[in-house]
Chains A and B, each alone.
Chain A
Amino acid sequence: MNPFHEPALMIGLTLGAYLWGQQLFLKYRKSWLNPVLVAIILIATVLQVGGGKVEDYLDATRALVFMLSPTVICLALILYEQTAALKKKALAIVVAVCTGGLVNVVVGVYLSRWLELPEPFVQAMSTKAVTTPIALELSKALGGEASLTVAFVLLSGIMGAVWGLPFLRRVGVKDEMATGLAIGTVSHGIGTARVQQESDLMAAAAALAMALNGLFTAFYLPYLYFWL
């Protein structure tokens, strides 16, 4: 039996690692003790020590990843709870998120070309701020590499979820809605999961920013990319 290919074991390991990460975070309140990050490191260590293959682990945990889509549907609930607050600032929210998304794409593409990264990396940079399924669709349209695209999306999500809040606090941003919008624009679902622990308003702003940035980018990127 290959333990790294057993759904019960691998899903159990994932839940346990995440739970441990969450407890560490609640106890020490350090941003870098993000449960997603703690779980990744722990599981990677287990795979490394036990000689397990990442491919086997990914295959065994497919059921867990399947749950991501219904969870996105559930974000509607947070949006609904904060509709009144969001409606009042609708125009500012839409323009701000679209600008932030555009900055990410344009700066990302030019900077990565300037640093002479290979083309698949440049493409992955352009879609790194949108939620995974949208990034996959865009990667197809741009002729990019699907799994590299996903790797960049998650890297960007984890970094934003771990260091986004401390960074914004350091530069003096106090507005909850603005913080949520920035986190959602840059680090989509992972960031949204993180700010749920801060406040409902921040979580709603992040969920909306994730959806808006995804929608907006999906419409313009296939045309814009070939201009850049």
Chain B
Amino acid sequence: MDVLRGLFLIFLFWATGETISQLAKLPIPGAVIGMLALWVALQLKWVSYATIQPSAKGFLAIMGVFFVPPSLGILLHAERMLQYGWKLALLVVVTSALSGLSTILVFKLLNR
């Protein structure tokens, strides 16, 4: 019963987010809007945590699986990407490291 109710709520918030995203022509995907909307709804106690918990934890536990097929899509570009192999590797590593470190640095500075 609770699993069904939870699933219903999850899809309801997805649908709401999708509707807002498309009506307002936002570049933000419906799922992200739905996530923020559900967070607010949980805060305001419009949705009860206990109802949504069993279904939500199920999805979250296997979240990584859903990224596997799209990641294999990289193979479609493998040849083109390997042409710039070391440059791309360097770029992704350097920009990711700098971005992550600047996030942490700013967070630490503002928290002192």
Interface residues of A (CB under 8 A from B): 14-15, 17-18, 35-36, 39-40, 43-44, 47, 54-55, 57-58, 61-62, 64-65, 67-80, 83, 89, 91-93, 95-97, 99-101, 103-104, 107-108, 111-112, 115, 117, 121, 125, 128-129, 131-134, 137-138, 141, 147-148, 150-152, 154-160, 164, 167-168, 171, 173, 175, 177-179, 181-183, 185-187, 189-190, 192-194, 196, 207, 209, 211, 214-215, 218-219, 222
Contact = CB atoms under 8 A, between A and B. Distances in A.
B108 to A, nearest CB: 7
The 7 A-B pairs at the shortest CB distance, nearest first, are namely A100-B103, A133-B29, A96-B107, A76-B38, A104-B99, A92-B110, A182-B100
A54 B31 CA distance: 27
Contacts of B80: 148
24 contacts: A14-B69, A40-B71, A43-B72, A61-B68, A70-B10, A71-B59, A73-B14, A74-B59, A76-B56, A99-B102, A100-B106, A104-B95, A125-B95, A129-B99, A131-B32, A141-B27, A175-B104, A178-B108, A182-B104, A185-B99, A186-B103, A187-B96, A211-B36, A222-B27
Interface string B12-41: 011001000000001111111011111100
A77 B60 contact: yes
B67 A154 contact: yes
Interface of B: 10-11, 13-14, 17, 26-32, 34-39, 42-43, 49, 52-53, 55-57, 59-60, 62-77, 80-81, 84, 87-88, 90-104, 106-108, 110-111
Contact of A96 (B29, B38, B103): B103
B68 A194 contact: no
A151 to B, nearest CB: 5
A72 B91 contact: no
A69 B74 contact: no
A100 B64 CA distance: 24
A77 B53 contact: yes
Contacts of B75: 44, 47, 54
Which of B13, B55, B65 is most buried by chain A, counting CB atoms within 10 A of its CB? B65
Contact of B74 (A39, A131, A154): A154
A46 to B, nearest CB: 11
Nearest to A190: B67
Contacts of B36: 76, 211
B86 to A, nearest CB: 10
Given A100-B102, A178-B107, A151 B42 contact: no
Contacts of B100: 100, 160, 164, 167-168, 182-183, 185-186
B69 A160 contact: no
B87 to A, nearest CB: 5
